Every structure is written in C-alpha cells, then in structure tokens.
Amino acid sequence: MEPRFGAGAVLVGLLPGQDPAVLQCAAALAAATGAELVAAYVDPGSYLIEWDPRGDVVAESLNRALDPEDDAASAVVELRPLLDRAASAVGLRSNFHVLGGDPALALGRLAGVLQCAAIVVGARRPGVLAGIDEVLAGSVVHKLLATQHIPVLAIPRVDAH
C-alpha cells in the first residue's frame, strides 16, 4: 500500500441521525491533509444494476437518480447541509454522493474510483435493533477493514462509553 494522504480525498460515510463527531473528524482529517472532503450516503434498500462483464461498476451507479418520495431523497435533504457546514467551517471543498447496495462495498467502490486517501465511518449505532442488524448484515467497519487497501477510520460514538 502506498500512502496517499494529501493526494486523495477523505471519504466519509453519512447517515441521518449519525453522531456529528464522524463528520467533524473526517473534516478535520481532510483539512489537516489538504484533501477534499467527499461524503456518501448509502441507501441499502437499493442496489446496483449497471455492471459490465468484467464486474466493474458503470459510473452512473455512483450517482443514482433520486425519487423525491424515496428515503434517500430525504436523507440528502438532511445530510447535504451538514456536509456543507462542516466543510466550510474548515475551509474545504466538499462533494456528496448517494450510493446503493451494501454500505461497505459501495463506500469501497467509491473510494477506489476517486482514489481516496482514507474512509471515515461511524461505529455501530447503540441499541438492540442495531445489534441484530449487525449480526445479520455484518459490520460496515469490519467489511471495510477486510476489503480495503486504504486506511479506514472508525469514529466511536460519544455515548458508547
């Protein structure tokens, strides 16, 4: 692995209601390394259909069209202003993507296409339902660590201790 800090964007995975520390840490890392801040919301209820025979993702899958009635559209309405405020607070440019499919795989694909320097995600949400979801679907953090060749930074929840 060749380090790319300063040469690639910092990608942060965002969710509605997420601990603000995740975005703040990603913005601080991007500012410290002189990188662009890229955020992505992954809608696990949708999936990619534009695959080519080699298994690559066609570029359109990385910026899917939103139906105004879709949950992803309401997430964008909530998350985009948070990203803009966090980026402008530290003098950064930012970019926002809406992805579909498995969150870890979608973030990894975007990081690869953009040649990101790091991926920043939040640690597991608290609660029984989040724990059941992690058992059934797997941990995004663990999947990223197992599949990526760039640093993955997991930000623990403030209320986790």
Q: What per-residue confidence (pLDDT) applies to 135? A: 47
Percent pLDDT > 90 in the chain is 46
Q: Distance (Å, rounded) from C-alpha 15 to C-alpha 12? A: 10
Q: Distance (Å, rounded) from C-alpha 12 to C-alpha 97? A: 10
Secondary structure element (H or E) that encloses residue 144, with its range: helix 140-147
Q: What per-residue confidence (pLDDT) applies to 139? A: 82
Q: Distance (Å, rounded) from C-alpha 3 to C-alpha 54? A: 27
Q: Distance (Å, rounded) from C-alpha 137 to C-alpha 83? A: 27
Percent pLDDT > 70 in the chain is 68
Q: What angle do CA 140, 127, 25 make, to 5 degrees?
A: 50
Q: What per-residue confidence (pLDDT) applies to 37? A: 96
In this model, does residue 46 exceed pLDDT 60?
yes
| Per-residue model confidence as pLDDT tens digits over 95-126 | 999 888 889 999 999 999 999 999 999 986 55
Q: Distance (Å, rounded) from C-alpha 70 to C-alpha 157? A: 28
Report pTM.
Answer: 0.79
| Per-residue model confidence as pLDDT tens digits over 60-91 | 445 555 555 666 677 778 899 999 999 999 99
Name the packing angle between helices 103-114 and 140-147 (round to 10°).
40
- Which of the four pLDDT bands, split at 50, 70 and 90, describes residue 137? very low
In this model, does residue 160 exceed pLDDT 70?
no
